[in-house]
């Protein structure tokens, strides 16, 4: 019911913003009439959900607001922070532990792994149960890249690796593969796939090619495949990990190359998709490596120079920025959970990803909450991220 309320508010307020008229008088009268009607509808929805009606003054303010602002204005600080956290869970059904995490910490997204996935019907039942009665719909994510990074291979069609697809020389194959993957995932209740990999020349079959322009074209076609299937995708791992030698699951590595190398190779696919595609339809996942061209001191997931200066300001990305898993050795070996989550948000992350342990997830949530309450992070900074998350999620209600 609450998810329906979120959608109805968006539809109703959008109707106001789309009103047109023949002259100024008619326009004013029409808008006044529509505003009054929208106020009645909003209050009817609130009454149906058990919420008290808004005052006349507040109702007018609400009716004139952007639908995202309307939802944001009704959220508590705790609810906002929950929207900035995506977690992994344990179990194949909605159990007490999962329910506690979702309700106590207002978690906004869940990533599923093989440990959660027995077969298609079970996954669909799980995602349906988790999505039921959510005030704001959940992101349901999975890593289904193809090749060695595939889930539930016994019951899903295993996609080819990106390297195999790239070797065909036919970028339409990237579209076809992404679209087919998306259809299967969507049928199980997923709305986000952490793919395609936009890295150039990785040594593990996860990259389409060693050629930046080829990667850019294949990633572009994959993006269209996901969009046409109605599922969000995620470019990773910004600003590029084509030169890695140490697995960031185990430890951190410093990528020593100059800015020109990034401009002409690693950033090419990211720039293309960010500049040519609707930024509200995909996320960008940031890697854990250090990059001397941008910030020699901090992992990219903890670096304002990478997430804010480069990705947000220079490349102009307006969508959701998500970290790679903050439980990975590259960062977790050197920072505690609270300082990790706080530093990542301060650097520019909209969503922090924590895939495994409930206790670590709890500490990350509490770290951000404490930082806002102490003034280390402003609530305006939190609102900026939650706006981007809500804008993305509003598409789930259409």
- Identify whether 266 is a catalytic site residue: no
Q: Look up residue 245 and give its two tokens.
A: 């030698």
**Strands annotated E in 121-241:** 139-142, 192-193, 232-238
Q: Which of 208, 127, 211 is nearest to 165 (CA)?
A: 208
Residue 42 has φ and ψ, to the nearest 5°, of -60, -45
Alpha carbon distance 105, 392 (integer Å): 20
Distance between the two ends of the chain, CA-based, in angstroms? 15
Alpha carbon distance 157, 315 (integer Å): 35
Length of the chain: 398
Residue 250 has φ and ψ, to the nearest 5°, of -105, -40
- Identify whether 210 is a catalytic site residue: no
Q: How far is CA 221 from CA 307, 330, 386, in A?
A: 25, 31, 29
Cβ count near 50 (within 10 Å): 7
Q: Which is the catalytic residue, given 199, 266, 295, 324?
A: 324
Cβ atoms 202, 236 nearer than 8 A: no
Q: Which is the catalytic residue, given 114, 249, 278, 384?
A: 249
Cβ atoms 13, 66 nearer than 8 A: yes
Cβ count near 87 (within 10 Å): 26
Cβ count near 133 (within 10 Å): 9
Active site positions, annotated: 249, 324
């Amino acid at each position: 019911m609450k998810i329906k309320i979120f959608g109805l508010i968006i539809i109703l307020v959008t109707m106001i913003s789309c009103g047109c008229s023949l002259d100024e008088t008619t326009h004013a009268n029409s808008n006044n009439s529509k505003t009054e009607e929208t106020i009645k509808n909003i209050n009817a929805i609130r009454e149906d959900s058990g919420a008290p009606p808004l005052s006349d003054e507040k109702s007018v303010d609400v009716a004139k607001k952007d639908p995202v602002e309307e939802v944001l204005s009704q959220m508590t600080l705790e609810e906002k922070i929950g929207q900035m956290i995506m977690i992994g869970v344990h179990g194949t059904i909605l159990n007490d532990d999962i329910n506690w995490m979702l309700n106590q910490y207002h978690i906004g997204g869940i990533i599923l792994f093989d440990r959660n996935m027995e077969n298609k019907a079970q996954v669909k039942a799980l995602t349906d149960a988790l999505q039921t009665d959510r005030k704001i719909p959940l992101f349901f994510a999975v890593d289904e890249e193809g090749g060695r990074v595939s889930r539930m291979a016994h019951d899903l069609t295993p996609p080819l690796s990106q390297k195999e697809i790239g070797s065909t020389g036919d970028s339409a194959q990237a579209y076809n593969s992404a679209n087919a993957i998306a259809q299967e995932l969507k049928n199980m209740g997923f709305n986000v796939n952490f793919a395609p990999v936009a890295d150039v020349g990785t040594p593990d079959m996860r990259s389409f090619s060693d050629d930046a322009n080829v990667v850019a074209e294949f990633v572009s076609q994959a993006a269209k495949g996901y969009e046409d299937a109605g599922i969000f995708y995620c470019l990773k791992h910004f600003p590029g990990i084509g030169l890695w030698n140490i697995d960031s699951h185990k430890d951190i590595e410093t990528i020593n190359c100059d800015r020109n190398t990034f401009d002409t190779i690693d950033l090419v696919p990211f720039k293309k998709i960010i500049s040519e595609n609707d930024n509200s339809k995909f996320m960008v996942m940031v890697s854990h490596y250090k990059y001397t061209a941008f910030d020699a001191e901090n992992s990219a997931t903890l670096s304002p120079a990478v997430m804010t200066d480069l990705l947000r300001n220079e490349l102009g990305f307006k969508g959701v920025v998500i970290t790679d898993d903050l439980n990975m050795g590259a960062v977790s070996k050197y920072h505690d959970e609270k300082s990790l989550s706080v530093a990542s948000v301060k650097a520019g992350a909209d969503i922090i990803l924590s895939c495994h342990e409930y206790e670590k997830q709890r500490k990350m949530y509490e770290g951000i909450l404490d930082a806002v309450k102490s003034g280390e992070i402003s609530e305006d900074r939190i609102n900026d991220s939650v706006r981007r998350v809500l804008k993305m999620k509003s598409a789930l209600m259409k």
